Amino acid sequence: MMNFLGFGKGDDNEDNGSTNNTNDTTNEGTLQLREEQLEVNKDRVQAGEVTLSKDVIEEQKSIDVPVSHEEVVIERTSFDNKQSDTPITSGETITIPVSEEHVNVNKRTVLTGEISAHKQEVEETRHIDETIKKEEAHVDSTGDTKVITK
């Protein structure tokens, strides 16, 4: 029966972490036990990017603006052939200025708001499942052998 502590016959050239002795009458020996442990490293990689930009859109705007203007009203009054002492002359004129409102359209740029962006660090937990290996020592004995484990 093979002794699981490594005290049985084995190949001396094989490096398995144990001290093997091919002599069956050995009084002592050493067996190294190993196990795998998880080593976790993190790398920061670019996941994407956000670009802020703006576009200019044009729209037609229609507004109604009330404007005023002056009109000249000509009124005739009849005097029923009333006699006048003023002689008839030419070149007499009356000038009446007439005005109206003109609409002037000017454009001005105003600030209506702003948009900003910033990054913030968010922490989350990712669950990782991995199988690891571990070496355990087993002691088998046959016959009337007393084994003391310390």
Buried b (16+ CB within 10 A) or exposed e, 110-143: eeeeeeeeeeeeeeeeeeeeeeeeeeeeeeeeee
Give the pTM.
0.42
Quote the tokens at residue 95: 């000038």
Q: Give the residue from 55, 57, 54, 47 showing the smallest Cα distance to 117.
A: 54
**3-class secondary-structure state, position 63:** coil
Q: Where are the domains of the chain?
A: 1-36+126-142+145-149
pLDDT of residue 78: 87
pLDDT of the chain along its 150 residues, tens only?
Answer: 444 444 444 444 444 554 554 456 678 888 899 999 999 999 999 999 999 999 999 999 999 999 999 999 999 998 888 888 888 888 889 999 999 999 999 999 999 999 999 999 999 999 999 999 999 988 888 888 888 887
